Amino acid sequence: MAGKHVIVANWKMHPASLREAKKLFEATRKIADKASRVSVVIAPPALFLTPLSTGYKGKKIAFAAQNAHEGDGGAFTGDIAVAQVEDVKAHYLLVGHAERRAAGETNDDTRKKVASALYYGLTPVLCVGEHVRTQNGEHFGFVRDQLKAGFQSVDPNAVGKVIVAYEPVWAIGSEEAMSPREMHEMAIFIRKTIVELHGAKGHSVKILYGGAVNEQNAAQMLQFGDVAGLLVGRASINPKEFAALVESIQTNS
Ligand code: PGA
């Protein structure tokens, strides 16, 4: 195994209160502390970043913002800036999650956010993935366009600092994840595309899989899917499920 598996816990818009967020964090912390082969990145709602990250002194967990505006300030009511994310000790930024794209985020927005995250020293997690799969393989072209835009303003030397999270939209929130075999094929395609566009540093880009990850499929995906980690939604907000998921990785991958 090359390095620890990165497990991003995407809490989305959960939970409803800071009290519950602290409880969920505490449970997640205990799970992470026991798992030597896993490193956990928690992406809580932005309001909870500060109380959770400033109170945490350990090394096992890192923090991510689920989204941010590329600018460092300005007249953007309701947005948070990448600079502000960096200021509250988050080290990762999710960019272009399917739910942000569904709310209107464009490929060009992701280009700006990836560049801004790198500028502020954050690790961007560029989320890509097609809505549907057809027989003629159009999804490869779709993902290629997302990668092309997302990496467009990245200096060739910094390419390896970007993480790509491949999340087929049809698997997010669904019952079944994609098969590790299909993920393997997609991982090869993603790497090949980045190398083609940006040179050899593309080989070192970490790739994560996301979409219906659970305790049944997590370890297999890490073993056979050619991925460095997982982006977990639903299973990350239920401590029992998350504990089982991390334990299955710890023993089976
Ligand atoms: P899910 O969500 O694990 O609930 O399918 C994944 C995601 O949207 O990142």
Q: What is the mean pLDDT of residues 63-70?
A: 98
Give 133's contacts (C-beta < 8 A, 6+ positions apart).
139, 168, 170
Active-site option among 5, 97, 139, 198: 97
- Going 119 to 120 to 125 to 130, the CA torsion angle's sign is negative
DSSP string for residues in 123-168? EEEEEE--S---TT-HHHHHHHHHHHHHHTTS-GGGGGG-EEEE--
Substitution candidate for ligand 1 out of 99, 208, 213 with most atoms within 8 A of CB:
213
Residue listed under structure tokens 């818009």: 13
Whether 154 and 115 have beta carbons less than 8 Å apart is answered as yes
Q: How far apart are the first and last CA of the chain?
A: 8
The response to whether residue 213 sits with its C-beta less than 6 Å from ligand 1 reads yes
Query: Which residue has a Cα nearest atom 9 of ligand 1?
Result: 233
Three-state secondary-structure class, residue 221: helix
Is the domain spanning 5-252 CATH 3.20.20.70? The answer is yes
Which pair of tokens denotes residue 85? 């994310």
Whether 209 and 221 have beta carbons less than 8 Å apart is answered as yes
Look at residue 72 in the predicted model and tell me its pLDDT: 87
Whether 94 and 125 have beta carbons less than 8 Å apart is answered as yes
- Angstrom CA distances, 136 to 59, 88, 168, 203, stand at 45, 45, 16, 27
Q: Where are the domains of the chain?
A: 5-252
Element (H, E) at 47: helix 46-54
Query: Which residue has a Cα nearest atom 3 of ligand 1?
Result: 233
Question: Against a cut of 0.75, is the pTM above it?
Answer: yes
Report pLDDT digits (tens) over 165-220: 999 999 999 999 999 999 999 999 999 999 999 999 999 999 999 999 999 999 99
Give 36's contacts (C-beta < 8 A, 6+ positions apart).
4, 250
The response to whether residue 38 sits with its C-beta less than 6 Å from ligand 1 reads no
State the closest ligand 1 atom to the C-alpha of 236, by its place in the atom list counted from 1: 3
Give yes or no for residue 1 having a pLDDT over 50.
Answer: no
Give me ligand 1 centre to Cα 108, in Å: 23
Give me ligand 1 centre to Cα 74, in Å: 31
Look at residue 250 in the predicted model and tell me its pLDDT: 95
Q: Which residue has the higher pLDDT, 63 or 252?
A: 63
The response to whether residue 212 sits with its C-beta less than 6 Å from ligand 1 reads yes
The response to whether residue 10 sits with its C-beta less than 6 Å from ligand 1 reads yes
Query: Within its chain, how far is the Cα of 132 from the centroid?
Result: 20
DSSP string for residues in 65-81? ES--BSSSSSS-TT--B
The response to whether residue 173 sits with its C-beta less than 6 Å from ligand 1 reads yes
Closest by CA to 160, choosing from 200, 129, 111, 110, is 200
